[in-house]
Amino acid sequence: MPDVEVTGPPVERDEEILTAPALAFVADLQRRFGARRDELLLARRDRREELSRTGRLDFLPETAEVRAGDWQVAPAPADLTDRRVEITGPTQRKMAINALNSGARVWLADLEDANTPHWANVVGGQVTLYDAVRRTISLTSPEGKEYRLRDPDDLPVVLPRPRGWHLPERHLYVDGRPAVGALVDFGLHFFHNAAELLARGSGPYYYLPKMESHLEARLWNEVFTHAQAELGIPHGTVRATVLIETITAAFEMEEILYELREHASGLNAGRWDYLFSIIKTFRDAPGDHTLPDRNAVSMDAPMMRAYSDLLVRTCHRRGAFAMGGMAAFIPSRRDPEVNAAAFAKVRADKQREVEAGFDGSWVAHPDLVPLCAEVFDAVLEGPHQLARRREDVSVTAADLLALDRTPGERTEAGLRGNIHVGIGYLAAWLAGNGAAAIDNLMEDAATAEISRSQIWQWTHAAATLDTGAVVTRELVERLVEEEYAALVDAGAYAEHLDRARELFVRTALDDDFVDFLTLPAYDVVVAAGG
Ligand SMILES: CC(=O)SCCNC(=O)CCNC(=O)[C@H](O)C(C)(C)COP(=O)(O)OP(=O)(O)OC[C@H]1O[C@@H](n2cnc3c(N)ncnc32)[C@H](O)[C@@H]1OP(=O)(O)O
Ligand SMILES: O=CC(=O)O
Ligand SMILES: [Mg+2]
């Protein structure tokens, strides 16, 4: 068996991305850092087991000095000082061009929540990013529509988001083992583009998802340090914005910034994975940790406010940007009523963020870029509001864990919605689309995780609904049949619905809780040769 083996199907222009030196670079990352990543995943499991026994979590005593210390992250590079509007989206070519033409300051090029790791997306995404860096990206759609960069000299800064530490890349083997997906995504992008970006006055900048501890941030820092040295890129060129989207990471915001301080740009309030993490972490802990309907948990809930305020305070104290998250409401160019409702809700969300001190925020659709810009323009006096230190904020462990003070009810409509979205989204995912609009909401891997984990928790806790009905396996199975029938009638992704239902039922109901929905879903993709 060769040291490095690509087992994925052929992808257009893969020979430009999977070159021998690029694969050697990724293999080197895998050999140096793969074992440590495996250890960190095991540590996650041990910690979760402890949390499920105690139901308690606190700031780490062993890192008190870091929290008390006087340090700052590296100053922002010139092209990353104004981040008031960031558009997110998959690296599919048409959407990439639309994102680059959207007027946003940053495009989060998503290889994660909004992406499925079909080999065609993994390699195709790298081709898109390669062309985007060099301003050569264009497309003629099957309908004959021409897509070109409107102004190649004035484009958003591109921040790819590699996969989280948990996902393997099962189409690329190093010494007989699947490489770590995150190292493949980062490694290929960095290898092909770091020097080119520098030559163009920018740099290799990334979003880092789903970390659960500062030790995981330390590993990323080691990867950056090594990758830069290996390619002769000056130390400290990389900039990373870390999503604080797990409950354990919320207790280690300072430590995560500290580990990455020579490469850190900011933190982002990834509210959807954060909710998933809360449900997952405390799903079977002693006491009642159930939350109301997914859509009832707003950013005004005390625990979400505490999380968001702590993030702004931590960032600004350390000279890092505080980035807002995603309001899931998607505008519609066809339905004025839906459009108006989406605009009003997104506006309220962005208003809350700018008032809380965030320096910018995310939108999921190009039509929302001007709205987000308008809200931040009205408040920001310069490119950011780092000077607002938020010293008024004081957040305790109890504030972050105030699940029981979250207003809202558990309803049958909520339960049904979780099933509808979960199966509908998984069908899209299996077809290769990692983001979908379902009932005018943006759904991606993070929101689907909430749907299935909430059902797991409600069922295992025998939670009661507003009707007085108890959530049982039988009730869920009956609603699954009904929602499945509705999805069949609707006709979208018909050939994937059976698999999607099977995956959903398994991950929402089996006693053995799967850490990530995308792990068994990826098995299905790989088995189908995708
Ligand atoms: C929890 C988190 O991690 S959030 C971040 C991850 N999630 C995401 O990034 C989701 C981003 N958003 C999307 O993928 C899309 O907006 C969807 C799938 C939700 C909806 O997409 P569509 O159904 O195509 O929306 P719609 O029909 O209104 O799109 C209109 C146009 O805008 C484009 N568009 C929509 N969203 C985006 C986007 N985020 N980036 C670039 N272009 C976009 C469409 O491609 C379409 O282009 P066209 O007119 O040239 O054909
Ligand atoms: O990645 C963002 C989130 O909300 O999850
Ligand atoms: Mg996320």
Residues 374, 436 within the same domain: no
Residues 281, 513 contacting (CB under 8 angstroms) = no
Residues 147, 471 contacting (CB under 8 angstroms) = no
Residues 273, 421 within the same domain: no
Q: Which residue owns the Cα nearest ligand 1 atom 20?
A: 437
250 CB-near residues (< 8 Å, 6+ apart): 244, 274, 307, 310, 311, 400
Question: Which domain does 463 fall in, by range?
Answer: 409-527
Catalytic member of 305, 444, 452, 499? 444
Give the separation between CA 81 and CA 31, rounded to whole angstroms.
Answer: 35
Residues 220, 206 contacting (CB under 8 angstroms) = no
Can 161 be counted among the known catalytic residues? yes
Give the separation between CA 299 and CA 289, rounded to whole angstroms.
Answer: 18
Residues 253, 281 within the same domain: yes
Residues 260, 288 within the same domain: yes
Q: Residue 515 maps to which CATH number?
A: 1.20.1220.12
Residues 383, 523 within the same domain: no
pLDDT computed for residue 420 by the predictor: 98
Is 137 inside a domain boundary? yes
Is 83 inside a domain boundary? no
Q: Residue 277 maps to which CATH number?
A: 3.20.20.360
Is 65 inside a domain boundary? no
pLDDT computed for residue 2 by the predictor: 72
- Out of 272, 425, 447, 453, mutate this one to test ligand 2's pocket (max ligand atoms within 8 Å of CB): namely 272
- Out of 241, 244, 268, 273, mutate this one to test ligand 2's pocket (max ligand atoms within 8 Å of CB): namely 273
Name the domain count of the chain: 2
Residues 353, 474 within the same domain: no
How distant, in Å, are the alpha carbons of 324, 339, 388, 399, 456 from that of 212? Answer: 19, 36, 27, 19, 21
What is the number of the ligand 2 atom nearest to the C-alpha of 113? 1
What is the number of the ligand 2 atom nearest to the C-alpha of 161? 1
**Ligand 1 in contact with 89 (CB < 6 A)?**
yes
**Ligand 2 in contact with 270 (CB < 6 A)?**
yes
pLDDT computed for residue 1 by the predictor: 59
User: End of a domain among 380, 399, 418?
Assistant: 399
**Ligand 2 in contact with 273 (CB < 6 A)?**
yes
**In the structure encoding, which two tokens stand for residue 47, read together?**
């910690």
Residues 18, 147 within the same domain: yes
Is 118 inside a domain boundary? yes
Phi and psi at 180, nearest 5°, equal -75, 125
What is the number of the ligand 2 atom nearest to the C-alpha of 447? 5
Catalytic member of 37, 48, 93, 161? 161
Residues 344, 486 within the same domain: no
Residues 162, 182 within the same domain: yes
User: End of a domain among 338, 370, 399?
Assistant: 399
Residues 227, 338 within the same domain: yes
pTM: 0.98
Q: Nearest ligand to the C-alpha of residue 518?
A: 3
What is the number of the ligand 2 atom nearest to the C-alpha of 276? 5
Distance of CA 162 from the midpoint of ligand 2 (Å):
13
Is 257 inside a domain boundary? yes
Give the separation between CA 461 and CA 478, rounded to whole angstroms.
Answer: 18
**In the structure encoding, which two tokens stand for residue 202, read together?**
């920018």
Distance of CA 114 from the midpoint of ligand 2 (Å):
10
Distance of CA 115 from the midpoint of ligand 1 (Å):
12
Is 324 inside a domain boundary? yes
145-150, Cβ contacts within 8 angstroms, sequence gap of 24 or more: 147/93, 147/94, 147/97, 147/98, 148/97, 149/97, 149/100, 149/101, 150/101
Give the separation between CA 142 and CA 426, rounded to whole angstroms.
Answer: 26
Residues 55, 106 within the same domain: yes
- Out of 87, 91, 98, 371, mutate this one to test ligand 1's pocket (max ligand atoms within 8 Å of CB): namely 98
ipTM above 0.90, yes or no: yes
Give the separation between CA 376 and CA 353, rounded to whole angstroms.
Answer: 9
> How many Cα atoms within 13 Å fall on the side-chain side of residue 170?
17
User: End of a domain among 399, 429, 460?
Assistant: 399
Is 84 inside a domain boundary? no
**Ligand 2 in contact with 164 (CB < 6 A)?**
no
Distance of CA 75 from the midpoint of ligand 2 (Å):
25
383 CB-near residues (< 8 Å, 6+ apart): 81, 82, 84
The SS3 of residue 260 is: coil
Residues 175, 292 within the same domain: yes
**Ligand 1 in contact with 148 (CB < 6 A)?**
no
Is 73 inside a domain boundary? no
Distance of CA 446 from the midpoint of ligand 2 (Å):
6
Q: Nearest ligand to the C-alpha of residue 107?
A: 1
478 CB-near residues (< 8 Å, 6+ apart): none
**In the structure encoding, which two tokens stand for residue 501, read together?**
């239902």
pLDDT tens digit at each of 530 positions of the chain? 579 999 999 999 999 999 999 999 999 999 999 999 999 999 999 999 999 999 899 999 999 999 999 999 999 999 999 999 999 999 999 999 999 999 999 999 999 999 999 999 999 999 999 999 999 999 999 999 999 999 999 999 999 999 999 999 999 999 999 999 999 999 999 999 999 999 999 999 999 999 999 999 999 999 999 999 999 999 999 999 999 999 999 999 999 999 999 999 999 999 999 999 999 999 999 999 999 999 999 999 999 999 999 999 999 999 999 999 999 999 999 999 999 999 999 999 999 999 999 999 999 999 999 999 999 999 999 999 999 999 999 999 999 999 999 999 999 999 999 999 999 999 999 999 999 999 999 999 999 999 999 999 999 999 999 999 999 999 999 999 999 999 999 999 999 999 999 999 999 999 999 999 999 999 999 999 99
